[in-house]
Amino acid sequence: MAKVKVTQIKSTIDRSKKQKATMEALGLKKINHTVEHETTPQILGMLNKVNHLVKVENI
């Protein structure tokens, strides 16, 4: 499966609880923190919900 590199580019301050929980589930804690994930439908759905807070790159 393909992988994606996800980097948090904006803060979660003043965001909904669902968006904060999604960022935590992705493993993102601070701005400029980067994680890698397999491209599963679940991960792609989470990225779609917080696409304004993250930068996604295909690997």
User: What pLDDT is stored for residue 31 in this prediction?
Assistant: 97
Please report, in tens digits, the pLDDT of each residue of the chain (59 residues total).
899 999 999 999 999 999 999 999 999 999 999 999 999 999 999 999 999 999 999 99
Per-residue pLDDT at 1: 80
What number of CA atoms fall less than 13 Å from residue 32's CA on the CB side? 0
**Per-residue confidence (pLDDT) for residue 12, from 0 to 100:** 96
Residue 38 pairs in a beta bridge with 3
**Total-model pTM:** 0.91
CA distance 56 to 7: 7
| Complete domains list, the chain, with CATH | 3-58 (3.30.1390.20)
